[in-house]
Amino acid sequence: MQMSPIMVPRRLYQAAPPVAPRTADTDGVRLIGVTLTVARDQEVFGEGEPADQVYKVVRGAVRGFRVLSDGRRQICDFYLPGDVFGIEPGCEHRASAEALTDTVLIVARRSSLGEDTDPTAARRLWGLAMADLQRSQDHALTLGRRSASERVASFLVDMANRLGASEMLELPMSRQDIADYLGLTIETVSRTLTQLQVSGLIKLAGCRSIHLRKPRALADLCA
pLDDT at residue number 82: 86
Low-confidence ranges of the chain (pLDDT < 50): 1-24, 26, 28, 115-116
pLDDT at residue number 125: 65
For 111-144, what is each residue's pLDDT tens digit? 766 544 556 666 666 666 666 666 666 666 666 5
Domain boundaries, the chain: 13-143, 147-221
Which of these, 201, 200, 178, lies nearest to 190 by C-alpha position?
178
pLDDT at residue number 153: 94
Q: 13-143: which CATH number, 2.60.40.1180, 2.60.120.10, 1.10.3720.10, 3.40.1380.10?
A: 2.60.120.10
* CA dist., res. 4 & res. 183, Å (int): 10
Taking the model in full, what pTM does it have?
0.79
pLDDT at residue number 133: 62
pLDDT at residue number 135: 66
pLDDT at residue number 31: 67
Q: Say yes or no: do domains 13-143 and 147-221 share a fold.
A: no
What's the topology of domain 147-221? Answer: Arc Repressor Mutant, subunit A (1.10.10)
